[in-house]
Amino acid sequence: MVTVDRVTGVRVSSVTLPLPVPISDAKVLTGRQRPMTEVAMLFAEITTEAGLEGVGFSYSKRAGGPGQFAHARELAPVLVGEDPNDIAKLWDKLVWAGASVGRSGLSVQAIAAFDIALWDLKAKRARLPLAKLLGAHRESVRCYNTSGGFLHAPVEEVLERAAESVANGIGGIKIKVGHPDPAVDLARVAAVREKIGDDVTLMVDANQQWDRPAARRMCRALERFGLGWIEEPLDAYDFEGHAALTAAFDTPIATGEMLAGAGEHAELIRAGGADIVQPDAPRVGGITQFLKVMALADARHLQLAPHFAMEIHVHLAAAYPREPWVEHFEWLDPLFDEHLEISGGRMHLSGRPGLGVTISERARAWTVAEFRV
């Protein structure tokens, strides 16, 4: 076998990204989680004999960041001396190196940072944006904003943020639901629909906080708003319950962001539990595993709307055969020197090679732990 290049160094960094205000969704209102004040980022930087460098990242909200970093630190030496082009082989090598703690969840989320860095490096070697390396179907992707629609914000603020997003070129608005009082949810949805009009796509996200009877009642009540989708109406692993909702209602059901591997997505898709699949590359183990989810979803003629991490997902969504959506959050903007262009309701690919982002000095200043090999 011909070796094209070799990994000479790996740098793993844990970065704590502060959020401007504490964030609350339905999981906070039900007492299951505390408000979110920061995001723990895991960065991997891989350098090679040929002088190339790949950058990848994973993340954790509320808990798990130190665990991801600790596992990544253990695994980093496995990459040294390997050909970085053999990405699938390296994913298997990394996952088996830590197999005693499992092949999903935190372990693969740590591997995701390495896997994404390897894909970034491979696209840079080819001097192509990642989407072009994978085979793009489009130069831009429909995008919707989520960060302005959380439940901690009064409805007046949600309306102002929605109007601002649409004015700035965003194509859809998603707001959080799952309030203990269903009337509050319906009033907020009605207010946003009236504010943005019928021509702008509106989605809602219950963050898994309804049981089956409540989900049926709310899906029925929400039908009149012509929503783009209802997201996570049930527990993420209630595939049968989600399948029943997809069969019963016209409004599409979206879920998948909390699933921690391609195998879990395969079960969801096999059960018919989603009209719109929402994989998250850092959560499923990186781009290598995300591509498997894409293939499964495409085979069942499903729509795709990746969760969070738009800097990665704009490339993957651009390579999906069916017109997808990408979620817009401005939260990660301070971490990178470059930012994505948004206009006409769409997020545009840049011509920069790889992911097209470099870690900012501000992110370096937020580093709380680092390991090099």
pLDDT tens readout for residues 246-277: 999 999 999 999 999 999 999 999 999 999 99
Report which of 268, 270, 289, 271 is spatially closest to residue 280, judged by C-alpha positions.
Answer: 289
Q: Which residue is listed with tokens 């949810």?
A: 185
Q: Is 25 annotated as a binding residue?
A: yes
Q: Is 132 annotated as a binding residue?
A: no
pLDDT at 62: 83
Q: For 90-116, what is each residue's pLDDT tens digit?
A: 999 999 998 878 777 888 999 999 999
pLDDT at 112: 97
> Which secondary-structure segment (H or E) carries 67?
helix 65-75
The answer to whether the CB of 255 falls within 8 A of the CB of 278 is yes
- The residue-averaged pLDDT of 53-71 equals 93
Q: CA–CA separation, 51 vs 57, rounded Å?
A: 20
The answer to whether the CB of 282 falls within 8 A of the CB of 58 is yes
Two domains, one topology: 7-127+360-372 and 131-348: no
Q: Decide if pLDDT at 362 tops 90.
A: yes
pLDDT at 23: 81
Q: What are phi and psi of 141, to 5 degrees?
A: -130, 140
- The residue-averaged pLDDT of 12-16 equals 97
Q: Mean pLDDT across the chain, nearest whole number? A: 95
Beta strands in 247-345 (DSSP E): 253-255, 276-277, 303-304, 325-328, 341-343
Angle between helices 239-248 and 212-222 (to 10 degrees): 30
Q: For 107-150, what is each residue's pLDDT tens digit?
A: 899 999 999 999 999 999 999 999 999 999 999 999 999 988 88
pLDDT at 24: 82
Chosen CATH of 7-127+360-372 out of 3.30.390.10, 3.40.50.2000, 3.30.70.1050, 3.30.420.10: 3.30.390.10
pLDDT at 101: 82
What sign for the dihedral angle of Cα 304, 139, 330, 106?
Answer: positive
Report percent pLDDT > 90 for the chain: 87
Q: Is 341 annotated as a binding residue?
A: no
Q: Decide if pLDDT at 316 tops 90.
A: yes
pLDDT at 104: 78
- The residue-averaged pLDDT of 145-166 equals 92
Two structure tokens written together for 274: 């989603």
Q: Assign 32 a pLDDT band (cuts: 50, 70, 90).
A: confident
Q: Which residue is listed with tokens 């591509």?
A: 291
The CA angle 312-314-319, to the nearest 5 degrees, is: 105
Q: For 209-232, what is each residue's pLDDT tens digit?
A: 999 999 999 999 999 999 999 999
pLDDT at 161: 94
Q: Decide if pLDDT at 243 tops 90.
A: yes
Report the SS3 class of residue 84. Answer: coil
Domain 131-348 in CATH 3.20.20.120: yes
* Higher pLDDT among residues 3 and 222, named by residue: 222
Report which of 152, 195, 5, 12 is spatially closest to residue 81, judged by C-alpha positions.
Answer: 5
Domain ranges in the chain are: 7-127+360-372, 131-348
Q: Decide if pLDDT at 63 tops 90.
A: no
pLDDT at 234: 98
Report which of 191, 187, 178 is spatially closest to residue 29, judged by C-alpha positions.
Answer: 178
pLDDT at 233: 98
pLDDT at 334: 94
pLDDT at 240: 97
Q: Is 89 annotated as a binding residue?
A: no
The answer to whether the CB of 79 falls within 8 A of the CB of 9 is no
pLDDT at 216: 98
Q: For residue 207, what is the DSSP state?
A: T
Counting every residue written for the chain, the total comes to 373
Which pTM does this prediction carry? Answer: 0.95
Q: Which amino acid, one-letter code, is at 195? A: K
Q: What are phi and psi of 277, to 5 degrees?
A: -95, 135
Active site residues: 176, 307
Q: Is 195 annotated as a binding residue?
A: no
- The residue-averaged pLDDT of 294-303 equals 97
Q: Which residue is listed with tokens 């502060």?
A: 18
pLDDT at 30: 85
- The residue-averaged pLDDT of 221-246 equals 98
DSSP alpha helices (H): ranges in 168-286? 182-196, 212-222, 239-248, 262-270, 281-284
- The residue-averaged pLDDT of 1-16 equals 94
What sign for the dihedral angle of Cα 161, 144, 29, 253?
Answer: positive
Q: Is 231 annotated as a binding residue?
A: yes
The answer to whether the CB of 52 falls within 8 A of the CB of 46 is no
Q: CA–CA separation, 80 vs 90, rounded Å?
A: 11
Q: Is 194 annotated as a binding residue?
A: no
The CA-atom distances, in angstroms, between 76 and each of 73, 112, 113, 296 are 5, 12, 11, 30
